[in-house]
Structure formats: C-alpha cells, structure tokens
Amino acid sequence: MALDPILLSRLQFAFVVTFHAIFPVFTIGLASYIALLQGLFVATGNNVWDRLGYFWTKIFAVVFGMGVVSGIVMAFQFGTNWSNFVQFAANFVGPMLSYEVITAFFLEAGFLGVLLFGRHRVSPSVHFFAALMVALGTFVSAFWILVTNSWMQTPAGVEIRDGVVHVVSWSDAMFTASFPYRFMHMAMAAFLTGGFVVCGVSAWFLLRGRDVEVHKRALSMTMWLLLILTPLQAWIGDEHGLNTLEHQPAKLAAMEGNWETGPNVPLLLFALPDRDLQANRMEIGIPNGASLVLRHAADGIVPGLDRVPESEQPPVWMVFYSFRVMVALGMLMIAFSVIGLLLRRGGRLYTSRWFLHGLQAMSLSPFLAVTAGWFVTEIGRSPWLVYGIMPYGDAVTPSLTGGMVLATLIGYVAVYAVIFYAGVYYLFKVVRQGLEPLDADEEMVDVDRPARPFSATHVPFDGSLSSSRS
Amino acid sequence: MEMFDLSLIWAIIIAVGVIMYVLMDGFDLGLGILFPFAPDEDARDVMMNSIAPVWDGNETWLVLGGAGLVAAFPLVYTILLPALYIGVFLMLAGLIFRGVAFEFRFKSRRTRHWWNRAFAGGSFVAAFAQGCVVGAYIQGFETADGVYTGGAFDWLTPFTILTGLGLVVGYMLLGATWLVLKSEGHVREWARGLVPKLLVGVLAVFAIVSLWTPWIDAGVSARWFDNLDVIWLLPFAALLCALGIFLANRHGREGSAFLLTLGLFLFTYLGLIVSRWPYVVPPEYTLWDAASAPESQFFLLIGVLFVLPIVLAYTAWSYWVFRGKVRVGEGYH
C-alpha cells in the first residue's frame, strides 16, 4: 500500500496541534480566572481569594509548562511537513508566528515569574498586576495565532508575485473577515474551559467535604459567570456561522449537510452524508430550520455542496458530525448553567450530589467542544490550506515520503502519550493535594528566584502526598 | 528601509540567537550527557540543581531561532527542515523527554531512575542531532529551484556522525567546566578530572573535521587556502582557548576555564560561519537569496529590537541571582 505523505502530514499536524491546543485553551481561561481571584483579594482583603489563587496558580504552572513543551514541536512542523506553504506564505505568516514567540518570551521573562514565585515578595497589588499581565499575555499570544489562522481561512491584504505572497496592507491581512468572530469565539471558549474545570474541581472537593467554604465560593462565582458566558458563546458562535456562510459557503454547506442550494432547507439533527451519492442517505431534521437560522426566513436560500466541484468538497461527514458534537456540548453547558441557577434556591447547588457529579464530568466537555470546533473549521477548509488559493497538495514538502511521515507520526504519538500520561497523572495529584496552608518553609525557598513553571508546585510525582518534599 | 541592509541585520540577529542557544543550552545538555557517569545520586542532584533555574529559558532561544528563520530567511527554513526531517524529530523528542524528566525527577522517588535515564538519553540524542546538523551544513544541501531534493538520510553520513559526536563531546566539556564552577567537594573534583580528557576528545574531533572539511567541499577549501587571510586567527584563537582551559583547570581557576570553553565554542562557530559566508543554504543560496520581503523583515524587526534587550537583561539577571556554588542537599526546589 502506498503511503500518502499529504494525508499523513495532515494527520500528523492535526495530532500535534490538537494535543498542543488542549493546554493553551485551558491556560488562557485559567489565567483570567487567577487574575480575577487576585483582584478580588486586593479589593476585599479576604484571604479566601488568595488561597484559591494560590491553588489554581499551581495547576496553571503545570499546564503552562506542558503547553510550552508541546509548543516547541509546532515551531518546526511548518517547515518539516509544509515547506512549500512556508515558502509561499512566509512574508506574512513568518512575522505573525515570530510575534507570537516574542510575546510568549516577553511574558515568561517578565510577569510569569512574579505570578508564580512572588506571592510573598511583592505586595498583593503588584502580584495582582502580574496576574493581569500574564492573562493579557495569553490573549496576545492567541491573537497572533488566530490572526494567522484567519488569514488562511479568509485571505486578504496580500498580492501574489512570482508565486510568493507579498503583504500589501498589514492591517487588511491581520484583521481579515473571519478574524473578529474567530477570536471572540475562541476567547469565550477559553473562558468556558477555565470555568468548567474550576466547577468540576470545586464539585470534587464539595463531594468530599474538603475546604467546603472556599470551594462553595469558587463554585458559586463560576456558575454565575457560566450563566452569562454559555448563552453568549452560543450567540457568538451563531454570528461566526453567519460569517462562514458569507465567506466560506462550502464549509457552511458541509456543516449543515446540505447538498442542494435552495430555499426551505431543514436543520438536520442527524444524517448520513455520502459524498459518492452527493446526498444524505438518511436525515432527520427540523423543516425550514437552516433557512430560518441562517437567513431568518423559511424560504431563505442556503448554499449547498452542489456549488462546489466534487474535488473541492471537504470530507462532509467529519465536518457535519464535529459540528453537531460541538453544538450538543454547548447546549449541555447552557443546560448545566441554568440548572445551577435553579438549584441555588435552598442552597442545593452545593449539596445536590448528582449535579456535582455531573459538573465533574462536564469539566471534560469544553476540551471536547474546542477540539470538535477546530475540526469543523480546519477540515471544513479542505482541500485548501489557504482558502481558495493553495490546496494541501501544493503545500506539502516535496521531498517527503509517506514512510518518513509515518515514522515521525508514530514517534510523536509515542512521545506525547508518555508526556501526557505523566502530566495528567501529576495534575491529578496537585488537585488532590488541595488548598494546603501556605507553608512557610517551602515558600521562602522559592520566593526570590525566577524559576521554571513546574517548580511552582511541590507535590511529589509518586509516593504518598505527605512525604518527600524535595 | 533602503538605507539598511535588513537581510544583513537579520543574519546577525539569527547568528547571535544560534550561538546564544549553543552556549547556554550546550552546558545543560552536556550535564545531561554526563549524568550517567556521575559518582553518586548526590552529584546528580547538584548537577540538576545547578541548571534548574535557567535551562528552559535557554531552550526558548531555539524556538525564537526557528520562528525568526521563517520570517527573515524562509528559504533556509524550508530547505533545512525537510532535509533534516528525521534529525529534527529526534532532536525535538530528545528535548521533550529531557525537559519533562527534569521536572519530574525532583518530584519522584521510586521512579527516579527512569527519569534519570530519560534525562541522559534525551540530552544525548538532542546534542548528537544538533551536531549532525552542523555537519550537514558543511556538506551542503541538494536543491533545485529552492526546494530540497535530497533523501531522508543525507544528513547522516560518516562526516556528520563525526560532527555529531564532536558536539556531544564539546557539550560535555561545557557541562564539565560549568559543573566545576558550580560545585564543590567530590563533585567538583570528579568534574575537574573529566576536563582534560574531554578536551583531548574535542581537539581530536576539531583536528579531523578541519582536515576533512576541505575534502568535502571545494568552496570551503578555497575560502581557507586561496588567500591566506586574517581568518586563520580564528582557529588559532580556538587553540589558544583550549590551551587556556587546560592550564586554568589545572590551577583551579574555574571561572576562567568555563569562560575559555565558551570562547572555544565561539571561535569555532565563527570559523564555521566564515567558511560558508555569505551562503546560508550551501552551496547554492546566499543570505540575500534566502531573504523574505524587506517589508516583512522590517515589520518583525521592530518587535525584536524592543524585546531582545529585555530578554537579554532578564537572562543576565537570572544568572546573577543564581551565581555561586550549589551544595549537596541544597536546591531550588
């Protein structure tokens, strides 16, 4: 069997970027949450917020560290597997990616150290300021990445001379049509990820009756936030969809599983899309639903895949199902937020065991939803790497053979499996240790020293929690 | 923009970034390679603690170099990475294992020996792969129309294996002189005893590579032999450094020994650069051929000129904070 270097390169990139993305999407949300906690501590002087801030900062440190480690690989993937794309687009993509690295550099050099190790060295206000800057830095980092991705989805601001992109207008190229929607959608997703993880962890502590008062506060505050953010995210996502309708109709048609352009298109709840048939083998839907959602009229015209040559259609079923997974999880998040509101009457929010168990499970949901969402937008763009301009086949490294890609793909899977296992295992240990009292001796060892993110925690990797603090 | 040769400015920035990386990650990779040979577990603790505060900052230079190449010299990036495909993977896998092992070793007891192995193995693989890159660079790359056309293992030849091993020994020397500087007692004596042996190894590779290189490529040969230039000062300076390391180590001048090792690396690196200047993808493309559009180089330059001094200052400060000896049983954890 011949191994296709293009397909394998796509798989490899999908794998390493999905694996990497898990960490930043969490740290972006968590950084803002920590800044909020430290801000509340400054404003109220109540040291519950500081204790919570300390607890979540330790978790932040480990996740940030894993994000950095897995991110190193990303800096090289473009060149190893997609060298023709880089040669084509470097004039724009190069500075964007470099600015991202510079941002991360700057962040790590300046404020991360103060946030992680300066708790007793600087005043609470300065510590809060550092937390705020780290939170801001994570967004600036995301900004550059999403600018690059949005340009690949809806390219603008450049002209192509001698087969190479030249930037004509930096502002047009950076702020493309899809960028504002993608950025808002992703920022909100990061908040939801942080929020649901915090709720899940708080629920875990409440179920075990540990540090109940502190985690009640954390849960209550976060549930209020989620009550606002989950519907807001649905609205932003909808706007993002309308933007896709305008600029990437093929992707939208695949998301809706709609093969024929026309009015009165149903909103499909379930279907079996078949590219060979160029139709759905079966479908269950709400009549006129898609037309109503997308065009606000029952006879609104919705673009179908018939407008796209078969060779330029994305793999419809992957986009179709990924989209439904994302939306279903979003609905579930809204449902949990609303149920949480109802349970507040009589304080059942903190005692209802089924709800707390549910929240624990829900802490996984944003990771799945974000992954599914990226599958929609990335697979929905195929066969284009740069939408309408450069297909995957032209972008891949010419000297690559299928065997080379397969070997490194297996290698990356193996490396990441070990790292991920060790990292998650360790994270669970950190969580289980809980809100330890701010221990004077170990704190003082670290306070004046800039060090690596991981050294912000002292939880042993193996053995019991109370022993071996090295 | 017309007034400055942006490509030249960028070549200098990236050249500085690369040598910063080699010097700084060099000694901590070297310590990793020396790890299995350490006399005892106490010594290993000291070794790790001596680099604990700084090692990950060292590696960020590598990421900056990678991203900077995309922006300023995309052709270098798009030819070198495909050509070194398998080597790059090995290097990344080595760096990842080593980084994670570093973090978890301190936090583990029962599984510590596994993390020790991952740390040493990862360090060795990463250093060897980087050394092969140096060799592959001297060999040059097979290209057509700005695209790499060679095979998957062109980077792995007897010559590059030699340079790979050479860099491994070189990093070990850096690691050993660093450790002499940062430790005391039996750990320091052990490291001090290693220095002359490693120095002999480095000089042997240095000599073989120097004799072999002119046979590998006529351009390099012409550069060195056609007009006897001031460039001969570079290998001469490198040899003086080597002599200096030997003497300083013998008389226990640990600071000088370490600085002279940095000098040995620096002069060798400069010698490598002049061998190929101004070719950045030998034997075909110069730095001007490989450059991105001037507006792109300029756009990024603004940010780099703003951030680089801050990062350098911060780096210097953190080394200053952690100056002095690391004692057994004392660490940053």
Task: Report ipTM for this prediction.
Answer: 0.88
Contact criterion met (CB < 8 Å) for A75 and B67: yes
| The pLDDT value given to residue B316 | 83
Mean pLDDT of chain B: 90
Contact B279/B7 with Cβ under 8 angstroms? no
Could B332 and A87 be called an inter-chain contact, meaning their C-beta atoms sit closer than 8 Å? no
CB contact under 8 A, A86 and B78: yes
Q: Does the pLDDT of residue A66 top 90, yes or no?
A: no
Number of C-alpha atoms within 13 angstroms, CB side, residue A67? Answer: 21
Q: How far is B244 from chain A (nearest CA, A)?
A: 33
- pLDDT at position A302 over 50: yes
Which tens digits make up the pLDDT trace of A9-62?
999 999 999 999 999 999 999 999 999 999 999 999 998 999 999 999 999 988
The residues with which B277 forms a beta bridge, in sequence order, are none
> What was the pLDDT predicted at B3?
60
Q: Which two tokens stand for residue B247?
A: 């003497």
- Beta strands, E only, A247-395: 267-274, 279-286, 384-386, 390-391
Residue B200 has pLDDT above 90, yes or no: yes
Structure confidence by residue, pLDDT tens digits, A130-158: 999 999 999 999 999 999 999 999 999 99
Distance of alpha carbon A330 from alpha carbon A233, whole angstroms: 8
Banded pLDDT at B63 (limits 50, 70, 90): confident
pLDDT band at B83 (very low <50, low <70, confident <90, very high): very high
Residue B228: predicted pLDDT: 64
Q: Which two tokens stand for residue B140?
A: 């040059």
**pLDDT of res. A455:** 66
Task: List pLDDT tens digits, range B288-315.
Answer: 999 999 999 999 999 998 888 887 887 7
Query: DSSP secondary-structure letter at B145?
Result: T
C-beta of residue A167 within 8 angstroms of C-beta of residue A155: no
Contact: A463, B86; criterion CB under 8 Å: no
- Report chain A residues whose CB lies below 8 A from the CB of B57: 108-109
Tell whether B290 is within 8 A of chain A (Cβ).
no
Q: How much is the pLDDT for A462?
A: 67
* % of chain A residues with pLDDT over 90: 77
pLDDT at position A446 is 42
Taking the Cβ of residue B109 and every Cβ of chain A, the question of whether any pair is shorter than 8 Å is answered with yes
Strand (E) or helix (H) holding A319: helix A316-343
B80 and A110: CB-CB below 8 Å? no
CA A72, A74, B314, A124 torsion: positive or negative? negative
CA-nearest of B268, B195, B300, B279 to B23 is B268
pLDDT on residue A109: 64
Give chain B positions within 8 Å (CB) of A423: 100
β-pair type (A384-386, B279-281): unpaired
Residue that is written with structure tokens 């040669």 in the block: A87
Q: b/e for B135-169, b at 16 or more Cβ within 10 A?
A: bbbbbbbebeebbbebebebbbeebbebbbbbbbb
The pLDDT of residue B89 is above 80: yes
pLDDT of residue A268: 94
Distant-in-sequence, close-in-space partners of B86: CB < 8 Å, separation ≥ 6: A404, A407, A408, B152, B153, B155, B156
pLDDT band for position A437 (cuts 50, 70, 90): low
**Rounded-to-integer distance, Cα B225 and Cα A161, Å:** 42
pLDDT band for A244, please (50, 70, 90 cuts).
very high
Contacts of A278 (CB under 8 A, 6+ apart): A259, A305, A306, A310
Tell me the three state secondary structure of residue B323: coil
Spatial separation of the C-alpha atoms in residues A51 and A41, rounded to whole Å? 9
- One DSSP character per residue, B168-210 reads HHHHHHHHHHHHHHH--HHHHHHHHHHHHHHHHHHHHHHHHHH
Q: Cis (ω within 30 of 0) for the bond into B283?
A: yes
pLDDT at A465: 46
Residue B332 has pLDDT above 60, yes or no: no
List, for residues A207-220, the tens digit of each pLDDT value: 999 999 999 999 99
> Is B87 buried (19+), middle (13-18) or exposed (0-12) by CB count in 10 A?
buried
Residue with tokens 């007891």: B109
More confident residue, A453 or B162: B162
Distance CA A370, CA A364 (A): 10
Structure tokens at A315: 């793999």
Q: What is the pLDDT of residues B90-141, one digit of tens each?
A: 999 999 888 888 878 878 888 888 899 999 999 999 999 999 999 998 889 9
According to DSSP, residue A109 is labeled I
Q: Which of B59, B81, B97 sits opposite A79 (nearest CB)?
A: B81
Count how many Cα atoms sit within 13 Å of the Cα of residue B239 in the half-sphere of its side chain: 9
**For B298, nearest residue in chain A (alpha carbons):** A95
Q: Which helix (H) or strand (E) holds B70?
A: helix B55-72
pLDDT bin (cut points 50, 70, 90) of residue B214 is confident
Q: Do A73 and B53 touch (CB under 8 A)?
A: no
Residue in A76, A97, A403 nearest the CB of B88:
A76
Contact assessment for residue A4 and residue A73, using Cβ atoms and an 8 Å cutoff: no
pLDDT digits (tens, 9 = 90+) for A127-137: 999 999 999 99
Q: Flag if B70 and A449 touch (Cβ within 8 Å).
A: no
Span of B246-250, B283-287, B322-326 with lowest mean pLDDT: B322-326
Which of B28, B41, B89, B111 should one mutate to test binding to chain A, selecting the residue with the greatest count of A CBs within 10 A? B89
H-run or E-run covering A160: strand A158-161
What letter would DSSP give residue B140?
-
- Residue B100 has a pLDDT of 84
Interface test with A, best of B70, B153, B305 (most A CBs within 10 A): B70
DSSP string covering B203-245, please? HHHHHHHHHHHHHH-HHHHHHHHTS--GGGHHHHHHHHHHHHH
| Distance in angstroms (rounded) separating the CA atoms of residues A370 and B71 | 29
The DSSP H or E segment spanning A47 is: helix A47-81
Sorted by where each starts, the structural domains of chain B and their CATH numbers stand as: 7-295 (1.20.1630.10)
Q: How far apart are CA B121 and CA A260, in angstroms?
A: 57
Is pLDDT at A359 greater than 70 in this prediction?
yes
Task: Name the residue type at position A34.
Answer: I
**Which residues of A are less than 8 Å from B315 in CB distance?**
109
